[in-house]
Amino acid sequence: MKRLLPYIFLLCQAVAEEQPAIIPEGYRLETIPGPEGVVFEVAGLDVAPNGDVFAGTRYGEVWRWSGGQWSLYADGLHEITGLDAQEFRGAREPENPFAPLVEDRIYVCQKPELTCLVDENADGRADYYEAVSADFGFNGNYHQYNYGPVRDADGNFYGTLNLGHGRGDDGVKVRGSGMAYDDFLRGTVYKVSPAGDYETFSWGLRSPAGIGIHPDQKSIFFTDNQGDWNPTSSLAHATLGSFHGHPASLTDHPDFKGKNLDEIPIADFKTKMKPPAVWIPQGLVANSPGNPVWDTSGGKFGPFDGQIFIGDQTRSNVFRAVLEKVGGEWQGSVIEFINPLQSGCIRLAFAPDGSLYVGQTARGWGSVGTAKFGMQRIVYEGKRPLLEIHSVALRKNGFQVRFTNEIDPERAADASGYVVEHWGYDYSEKYGSPMVDKTVVTPKRVTVSEDKRAVTIRLSEILTDKVYKIAVPEMGAGLSTRTAYYTVNYLKD
Amino acid sequence: MRLTISILLLSFLTADLTAVAPKIKNVRIKMQRGLMRYRVESFFVKPGEKVRITLDNNDEIQHNLVLCTKGADNWKPVADAALTMGETAFERGFVPESSLILHATKLVDPHNTDEIIFNAPMEEGIYPYVCTFPGHAQLMRGQMVVASSTPRMTDLRYDYFEGEWETLEEFAKAEPVASGKMERNRIELEPRERNDHFGFVFTAQLQAPVDGDYHFHLASDDGSEILVNGEPVVTIGSIRAGGTMAKESIALKAGSHELKVRYFDKKGGEELRVAWSGPGFKESALTDPRFIDANVRLADMILVPSGEIIVVRCNLPEASPRSIAVGTPLGIHYCFDTESCRVLYLWGGEFLDIGPERGDGKGRGGQVCKVLGDPLKINSGETFPLSFADPVLKKAKPKFLGYRRAARSTIFVYDIGGVKVEQSVTVSLGERAALGMTYKFDGEVNGPVNVAFDEEAVEVAAISFGGGGHGAEGGLVWADVTDGISLILYPHTQ
């Protein structure tokens, strides 16, 4: 059968799917069958303003999911690992048949290039494959992924460039670390203006498999995967010129050009490093996180409005990141959300209706989810109020944990029901770090807020450069998860 | 006579050698780092064979390996017992007192190893192993299978049918038009006389080494079915296009079992993939082994144009990794390198194997694609093939801007010193195979234009131009133009 023909499927919601072990009440996971016979390893995903879902695959195709039907938009691309569909208008069916047809544009990051796929004749298939930028090094090493793009309010594109996998003597491996700087500008965040001008925005990345932009349309965040110089995976806020820890990319940095990076003390790199907004503990929350997306649905996706959602390839879960500004910088916690899904969750995208699409692939690094690839969708039905941890906020002498609903004040006030533990991570060229100086802390006191929706856990001291595990007691009406992991970089004044 | 003697001698020699060599089966088990799994999750040993298991902990946390007595589920009580060992658990390496344990390594620190050496039990069957460190057992385990035979397929035969099928049931009334033995011990849709409206029934014997659960994997375009000892195990009843492999399990006793695979193709693509797995062995292909443990089809990785031009961005041999392979239904294909903005080489035959780069559906990929044919280089020179008389343009480097896909041609767009060049490439088959190229210039060209090709590879001819004189000699085309130039390349047949 001809694989390029669109395949028609009905999205069958009537059949109740088996639900994951961890899923908050009111949420439902649906599986969307991919186009049949297609290697559907979704590593680029976005939902256009009209609700059409665009999936870019590692095989190199872009598929459009519209009205319960798949159609091929573009093919023959070189491992797509990011996609932006915000300029897509669906010019194929103009409301006014006499209006001139408008070109449709989908942006993808493929390994060699940031590319715009233009449907010039409005037949639903891209005709012109425009090179937006290829001003970074690419020598074919399998690990040189190009993730993105996301766009800011001015239309600039941002992407992240993976380091190469250090095979043999290839490239610069600072202190013999695993990943290598094996072509120019690898391990950075880049910015490309609408006119195509390329600039390096941030340095010190390793395997930054997901980039996202804050709803303010200017703050850039990315995730990085655990490994050398990355003690555990992280979500970081990139600012112009920021350095995020992996020294290999400094080979190109104007302050380091020509220097032997092996001779620079590790402490110097650490001083220069902008700490991530949140460490994502390996094995507990995520091992290989993808792109962060913000819930801006205004409640259509439930009570976590404004929070960040991230998927993970290895653990095949979706978790939340809840950030606040402390000392002028973003920091906060990560909390399990849904676990596990059918395959490795590398891409998330919110649809205008408030549902969350999940693009999946398990290839290359393995995943707990047994499917090799696919697409699922998380829907909030919210028929009954649910009780979950909403957020964790740092206080001067403790943490405030807010819930989505009222809690049992007696149970909540019993300090003995809480487990608080903290640890640090070693920053080095070694692959990952164990939890260092793991310490259990006994809360001094727990108080319940007047609205019965929050508790304040008082501690005798709070240390910086630590991850705090905060586990709350059972609150009666079944929390799907009781643990949050808060990264303290800065203290509250 | 002399031959017999040498054979006899040889057999004495080999017998001697095997007697001298210390026979030990080495099994080195590393971790799938960060995934809480052993890399080796099953292996075979012979009854009584001497075995060395080396636990090579390349992970960042501690692990052990506890080998249990015969019984696929015996790991579970052992792992549970390790959870209740109390304060001495670490001292004892999380190895509990249990009659279900045969051998155990110590608790191995990250980047350390430990080994156990033992004689395999004489009794054939499944001996599970597990990491008993708390929380690991759920994923971190495997099976040592003691068996005197290994899984294999023998006596593979086929019946070939022709006819119009919609369902598998219609095999019942069909008569084979040919039958025979499959020479390669592999299920293939050969020998066949046509590409549509045909079917096969394959029969073979499967040797199951031990009692246990065996899994059968099947994907096809169109319908197919696996039967074991006459019982349907996996069925794909409908007209369909390949896709995900279906998997079903069946309990089999050690010994020989009859395998039957039925397949039919109505129209369009044809593909059949069959595999099995079981105690001691992972998915093992009974069809082409390259495409068995992945949800990909041969057609996804071996690209052969039919009807449409295929344009694929990929890493090609002897080109930059930022290249484009263009395959045409006429059987002539070429490589355009976007870094040097030129057609580097042509080839004929099948088009491209992108499996090495796209990971064949299983690996990380990222290797150079395979060109299926012999490349004929047409632009191997240092200088850019297109050159202008204008001194500024002469020095300018090309910058790739994109490509346009059309029904009969592919148009590459690049910039040279402010001049936008659109280079259209068309393959045609007349009396001679030819590559037509048209360069259109958007910008001030200021004077004559030259286009150079490797003279030994192609003969060139200018066919049209916009004003002024033109000509072709050897590998060079020149024209005194401002808007563009068209030319034809005739590859020299070797």
Alpha carbon of B442: minimum distance to chain A alpha carbons (Å): 17
Tokens of B298: 């041969």
Structure tokens at B323: 């290249």
| Mutation choice for B interface testing from A5, A77, A184, A372 by most B CBs within 10 A | A372
pLDDT tier, A8 (very low <50, low <70, confident <90, very high otherwise): very low
With bands split at pLDDT 50, 70 and 90, how would you rate the model's confidence at A14?
very low
Token readout for A471 is 């586990």
Residue A234: HSE in the Cβ half-sphere, 13 Å Cα cutoff: 31
- Hey, is the C-beta of A184 within 8 angstroms of any chain B C-beta? no
Is B361 within 8 Å of A138 when comparing Cβ atoms? no
Using alpha carbons, select from B273, B295, B288, B274 the residue that is nearest to residue B360: B295
Find, in chain A, the residue whose alpha carbon is nearest to that of B308: A4
Task: Tell whether B364 is within 8 A of chain A (Cβ).
Answer: yes
**Across chain B, what does the average pLDDT equal?**
87
A130 CB within 8 Å of a chain B CB = yes
A112 prior amide bond cis, ω within 30 = no
Res B10: pLDDT: 40
ipTM above 0.95, yes or no: no
The pLDDT, as a whole number, for residue B473 is 80
Share of chain A above pLDDT 70, in %: 94
The DSSP symbol for B300 reads: H
Which pLDDT value is given to residue B292?
58
> Cβ-count burial of A197 within 10 angstroms (0-12 exposed, 13-18 middle, 19+ buried)?
exposed
Distance of CA A280 to the CA centre of its chain: 11
Going across the sheet that includes B370-371, the strands are B302-303, B352-353, B370-371
Per the CB < 8 A criterion, the answer to whether A180 and A187 are in contact is no
As a whole number of angstroms, the distance between CA A183 and CA A187 comes to 10
CB contact under 8 A, B403 and A128: yes
For residue A108, the chain B residues in CB contact (below 8 A) are none
The pLDDT assigned to B295 comes to 62
> Rounded mean pLDDT of chain A?
92
A233 at B interface, C-beta within 8 A: no
What average pLDDT does the segment A372-396 reach? 92
Of the candidates A196, A194, A79, which has an alpha carbon nearest to the alpha carbon of residue B400?
A: A196
In this predicted structure, the answer to whether residue A10 has a pLDDT above a threshold of 50 is: no
The predicted structure's pLDDT at residue A455: 98
Give A150-188 pLDDT, tens digit per residue.
999 999 999 999 999 987 777 899 998 889 999 999 999
Exposure letters B178-212 (e unless 16+ CB within 10 A, then b)? eeeebeeeebbbeebeeeeebbbbbebebebbbeb
For chain B (494 residues), the mean pLDDT of every run of 10, in chain order, is 40 42 85 82 94 92 95 95 89 94 95 95 96 90 94 94 84 86 89 87 95 92 92 82 76 96 85 90 83 66 90 97 97 96 93 90 87 92 84 91 96 96 94 91 86 88 72 80 86 76
